[in-house]
Amino acid sequence: MPETTQLTLPVLPIHNGVVFPNMTVTIQVASQEGRTAIEAASRSDQTVLIVPRLKGSYASVGTISTVERGDDGNIVVTGQARARVGAGSTDENGALWVEAEEFPEVDFIDEGVDELVADYRAVVSAVLENRGLGRVAERLLAMDSPAQLADLAVYSPDLSLEQKIELLEALDIRHRLGLLLGWMREVLADQELRRKVRDDASEQIEKSQKEYILRQQLEAIKKELGEEGDVSSEYRTKLDEGGFPEAVAEAISKEIDRLERMSEQSPEHSWIRTWLDTMFDIPWGTKTDDRLDLDEAWTVLDADHTGLHDVKERIVEHLAVRKLRKERGLESDSDRDTGAILLLVGPPGVGKTSLGESVAKALGREFVRVALGGVRDEAEIRGHRRTYVGARPGRIARALTEAGTMNPVFLLDEMDKVGADWRGDPSSALLEVLDPAQNHTFRDHYLEVDLNLSEVLFVATANVLETIPAPSLDRTEVIRIDGYTDAEKVEIARDHLLPRQLLNAGLEPEELEVDEEALASIVDRYTREAGVRSLERELGKLTRKVATKIASSDAPDVVKIGSDELREYLGKPRVWKDEASDRTDVPGVATGLAVTGAGGDVLFIEATQMDGERGLTLTGQLGDVMKESAQIALSYVEAHAGELGIDPEKLDSGRYHLHVPAGAIPKDGPSAGITMLTSLVSLLSERKVKDTIAMTGEITLQGKVLPIGGVKQKVLAAHRAGLTEVILPRRNEQDIDDVPEQVRQDIEFHIADTAADVLSAALN
């Protein structure tokens, strides 16, 4: 062990990374704690102790680093050596100073270390070769120093932040190399397994193609020799080999008998053959076994989607029920099964449709999607009767054939877009499909036999609930997906969207680096949505611009993009958010919250008083309910002017005008009641509304605050707008639990029972 040195240094904590010795990085210092540490560094020869902090706890080992000043709150630091963190105290400026025991790296010749280094180089080389990064491996692994070689693992995408911190805390090089060797062997084993699965699948496809060609050739030879087999006999052979339900087998047998008695020249001959072919294509009795490993299901769901905890929890509950029933011998022999119908409701782009594929992957089932948007013909669901020319089964039966099993995950996409006309109402035909008490005997008009849909897991999606008929809605379990926070969008962009767009643009991951600040700027300045669809389009535009530069040999080996470079690639920002401080700097303007088709939004309500006949003017395309809320607010103000500190003469001195921007967008609902009341009281009492607060709630003539809906979406909108306080009705207090923890920490909630509670919290 090398000799140690005792130092006293200021601590700079970092939350999303690790700095190792001999490593030079740029760190953004945004917090007051970080700025205080940098100021303290100037009193310690520009030296700080950088310590990772995870889940509120400091690592036991930090990195002694030198600091160079940067621009816009960024600093450049260079790691010098590891140091064990000792006791600490805070100085008069608020900086944390600790006693640090320095552990300089000393490379030494040791047979055991040499073996570990050799094994580690071999494993890492294999991992990089599997990824097509052989040249990178040659450059990285040529390093002589075992300590520096081990510390290069900080750049590996295969290691988690916890593992990198554990690596920093490993002061002994043998221990450090041993940890790395174990982790990288796991990565290599996973790569080998994936490659084996891919190779096996490719061999199976080639075998199937070869068999298909040979069978086609055999059929052609038989036809030339006049040895074509008897059609009815072939059908009977299939019937004997298949595990058909009794009623289905009986129906098929009758149709085969009819086929035998019928001339080939009869039009019905081809109709019967088409029906029989369809019946044999349906996977009667074929089922896939559910993957009942709950931990693995969570892993699959978390890997594909960030957030969406409620949906994932419901899927795992479904798995848990099936697992317990199977383990305890409670599997029912009847046709009915524990089927489920989930309805995912939320704004566009939040991942409702793609979640269906993740559910199928987690369960180990086949996945099939049916787009219901614009469907107006009932026959699309139930099929056409066989008497019509060109008749065929409905989408439900065809989807089972496509899936190849009777228990797939079935996605009914855009359920709120189903229409109705003279051809029937498809949503009514869906009632039987979506009823667990009835769908074990679903009857398609073309097949005319019962289809058991009770084992199918139905996942429906919709943007709004209002256009879904009440009977259909009653048969589903509604799960709301209310959109993502900006932090979640950045995480989704980094982990899911950017890698996909890099692949689409033909770029390698190491050719483009987009830092977190740039991703946050794209979310904040170039998109305005609850989901991430526009965000993915912007990332696609960014990667295409980079691909153009690289293809024209006009770019370096690695293109690094920060927030300052975004304008070059994406153009000028397209989203400008109204600052509450600018809008509420005069009395009579209050900040409300609303829910639109694209998620939550901030709503500014303006009030003014004019000379003229006493009355109320409303503008901004308001619905009847919202107009009534404005009249209620004015009536309450007039009735309680004395309590509110309003001069009665001023109250009677003219006409009031309430305006709700943006004027081109229709608005309705009672949830702006307390915002209108606050706007009027602010105007008449000449007291400004706080520029940090937003509110939502219905107001009554008695001044009571009634509950409203969409709390999560509204609070997320307030958080995106930089507001730090939200007023909610008392009966909506329980809905705060639905708001993400990170947002709850940033926002102070005021719970209101009456108008007095609202005004005391909102007015300066």
pLDDT at position 664, please? 63
Backbone dihedral angles phi then psi of residue 492, each to the nearest 5 degrees: -65, -45
Q: What is the 3-state secondary structure (H, E, C) of 87-99?
A: EEEECCCCCEEEE
428 is known as an active-site residue? no
Q: DSSP alpha helices (H): ranges in 593-672?
A: 624-639, 648-651
Which single residue is written with the structure tokens 């990064």?
133
Q: b/e for 571-608, b at 16 or more Cβ within 10 A?
A: eeeeeeeeebeebbeebbbbbbbbbeebbbbbbbbbbb
> Which residues face 443 on adjacent strands?
450
> Could you say which of 427, 521, 629, 671 is catalytic?
671
Of 148-162, 304-318, 320-334, give the lowest mean pLDDT range.
Answer: 320-334
Is the pLDDT score of 227 beyond 60? no
Is the pLDDT score of 337 beyond 70? no
Which single residue is written with the structure tokens 């959109």?
483
R_g over Cα of the chain: 33
CA pair distance 673, 635, nearest whole angstrom:
12
Q: pLDDT tens for residues 263-308?
A: 666 778 888 888 898 888 888 888 888 887 888 888 888 888 887 7
CA pair distance 717, 747, nearest whole angstrom:
12
Residue whose C-alpha is closest to residue 345's, from 719, 728, 709, 746: 709
β-pairing, 655-659 vs 693-695, is: unpaired
Q: Which amino acid would we find at residue 190?
A: D
Q: How confident is the model at residue 430 (pLDDT cuts 50, 70, 90)?
A: confident
| Cα 739 to Cα 46, 410, 736, distances in angstroms | 42, 30, 5
Q: pLDDT tens for residues 449-502?
A: 888 888 888 899 998 888 888 888 888 888 888 778 778 888 889 988 999 999
Residue whose C-alpha is closest to residue 18's, from 188, 216, 153, 181: 153
C-beta separation of 367 from 323 below 8 A:
no
Q: Could you give the count of Cα atoms lying within 13 Å of 143 in the half-sphere of its Cβ?
A: 18
Residue whose C-alpha is closest to residue 69's, from 130, 111, 22, 27: 27
SS3 218: helix
pTM of the entire predicted model: 0.60
SS3 48: strand
Residue 491 corresponds to which tokens in the numbers above?
Answer: 């995480």
CA pair distance 447, 275, nearest whole angstrom:
7
Is the pLDDT score of 56 beyond 50? yes
Is the pLDDT score of 366 beyond 50? yes
Cβ count near 142 (within 10 Å): 9
C-beta separation of 706 from 697 below 8 A:
yes
Q: Which are the contacts of 376, defined by CB distance < 8 A and separation ≥ 6?
A: 418, 419, 420, 421, 423, 426
Section 395-418 average pLDDT: 88
CA pair distance 451, 41, nearest whole angstrom:
74
Q: Which amino acid would we find at residue 609?
A: Q
Q: Which amino acid would we find at residue 738?
A: D
Q: pLDDT tens for residues 379-388?
A: 788 888 887 8
Residue whose C-alpha is closest to residue 394's, from 442, 445, 347: 445
CA pair distance 98, 81, nearest whole angstrom:
16
What is the signed CA dihedral for 395, 398, 403, 406, rounded to 10 degrees? 90
CA pair distance 144, 569, nearest whole angstrom:
40
CA pair distance 277, 280, nearest whole angstrom:
5
Is the pLDDT score of 583 beyond 70? no
Q: pLDDT tens for residues 738-764?
A: 888 888 888 999 999 999 999 989 887
Cβ count near 201 (within 10 Å): 10
Residue 221 corresponds to which tokens in the numbers above?
Answer: 């030879």
CA pair distance 758, 677, nearest whole angstrom:
9
Residue 201 corresponds to which tokens in the numbers above?
Answer: 């699948």
Q: How confident is the model at residue 704 (pLDDT cuts 50, 70, 90)?
A: very high
pLDDT at position 335, please? 46
pLDDT at position 307, please? 76
Average per-residue pLDDT in the chain?
83
Q: Please indicate whether residue 338 or residue 239 has the higher confidence score (pLDDT).
A: 239
SS3 457: strand
SS3 589: strand
Q: How confident is the model at residue 422 (pLDDT cuts 50, 70, 90)?
A: low
Is the pLDDT score of 193 beyond 70? yes
Residue 399 corresponds to which tokens in the numbers above?
Answer: 């989807």
671 is known as an active-site residue? yes
pLDDT at position 230, please? 64
Q: pLDDT tens for residues 2-25?
A: 566 788 889 888 888 888 888 888
Share of the chain above pLDDT 90, in %: 10
Is the pLDDT score of 95 beyond 80? yes
User: What DSSP assignment string belongs to 385-431?
Assistant: -TTSTT----HHHHHHHHHTSSS-EEEEE-GGG---BTTB-HHHHHH
Q: Please indicate whether residue 454 or residue 422 has the higher confidence score (pLDDT).
A: 454
Backbone dihedral angles phi then psi of residue 680, each to the nearest 5 degrees: -65, -45
The domains of the chain, with CATH numbers, are: 5-103 (2.30.130.40), 111-188 (no CATH), 229-281 (no CATH), 294-480 (3.40.50.300), 486-570 (1.10.8.60), 580-762 (3.30.230.10)
Residue 61 corresponds to which tokens in the numbers above?
Answer: 């080992």
CA pair distance 694, 319, nearest whole angstrom:
41
> Could you say which of 489, 667, 712, 714 is catalytic?
714
Q: Which amino acid would we find at residue 629?
A: S
Section 165-178 average pLDDT: 86
Q: pLDDT tens for residues 533-569?
A: 889 999 999 999 889 888 887 667 788 888 888 888 8
Is the pLDDT score of 675 beyond 60? yes
C-beta separation of 129 from 43 below 8 A:
no
DSSP state of 654: S
CA pair distance 31, 16, nearest whole angstrom:
14
Is the pLDDT score of 697 beyond 90? yes
